[in-house]
């Protein structure tokens, strides 16, 4: 069951990334990703965490040893993976929409998107630097 959910979550996330990178200006891309794909991933995550907690989760967030103990369960690792998929896609969507607002060229944005897809925080950090260089400011919401 976990292997199938892992494959399904990956496939769903890939569809989101294809939409984001391939069709960033299509009017249905943001809604489809946020209200569809990310919400499905959030639902999977919720179910996994609820099931895992119901069955007596071991570990915690107060020490590295306890965090490592959290990830001794296959279902907890799967939940962690889906967490990454959902958050990275959300950050990718947010950056794509922000890049459109500031007029960033797609030729610059696509490598950033790919970096977010593979190494989330590295792509986010690169985008912040690119944005600051282009606009003189960090993030408009901050």
pLDDT, tens only, 52-83: 777 777 877 899 998 898 888 888 899 999 99
pLDDT digits (tens, 9 = 90+) for 16-49: 999 999 999 999 999 999 999 999 999 999 999 8
pLDDT at 57: 73
- pLDDT over 90 at 136, yes or no: no
**Across residues 114-133, what is the average pLDDT?**
95
| Residue-averaged pLDDT of the chain | 91
DSSP letter for each residue of the chain: -HHHHHHHHHHHHHHHHHHHHH-TTSTHHHHIIIIIIIHHHHHHHHHHHHHHHHT-----SSSHHHHHHHTTSHHHHHHHHHHHHHHHHHHHHHHHHHHHHHT--HHHHHHHHHHHHHHHHHHHHHHHHHHHHHHSSS-TT-
pLDDT class of 140 with cuts at 50, 70, 90 = low
pLDDT for 141: 57
Instruction: Quote the pLDDT of residue 61.
Output: 82
pTM of the model: 0.89
The residue-averaged pLDDT of 97-117 equals 96
pLDDT at 103: 96
In angstroms, rounded to a whole number, what is the distance separating the alpha carbons of residues 95 and 123? 10
């Amino acid at each position: 069951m976990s292997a199938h959910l892992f494959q399904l979550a990956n496939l769903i996330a890939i569809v989101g990334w294809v939409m984001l990178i391939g069709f960033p200006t299509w009017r249905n891309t943001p809604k489809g990703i946020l209200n569809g794909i990310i919400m499905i991933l959030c639902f999977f995550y919720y179910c996994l965490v609820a099931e895992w907690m119901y069955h007596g989760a071991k570990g915690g967030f107060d020490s590295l040893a306890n965090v490592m103990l959290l990830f001794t369960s296959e279902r907890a690792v799967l939940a962690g993976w889906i967490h990454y998929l959902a958050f990275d896609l959300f950050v990718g969507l947010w950056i794509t929409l922000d890049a459109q607002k500031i007029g960033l060229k797609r030729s610059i944005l696509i490598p950033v998107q790919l970096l977010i897809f593979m190494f989330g925080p590295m792509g986010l950090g690169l985008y912040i630097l690119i944005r600051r260089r282009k606009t003189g400011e960090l993030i408009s919401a901050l």
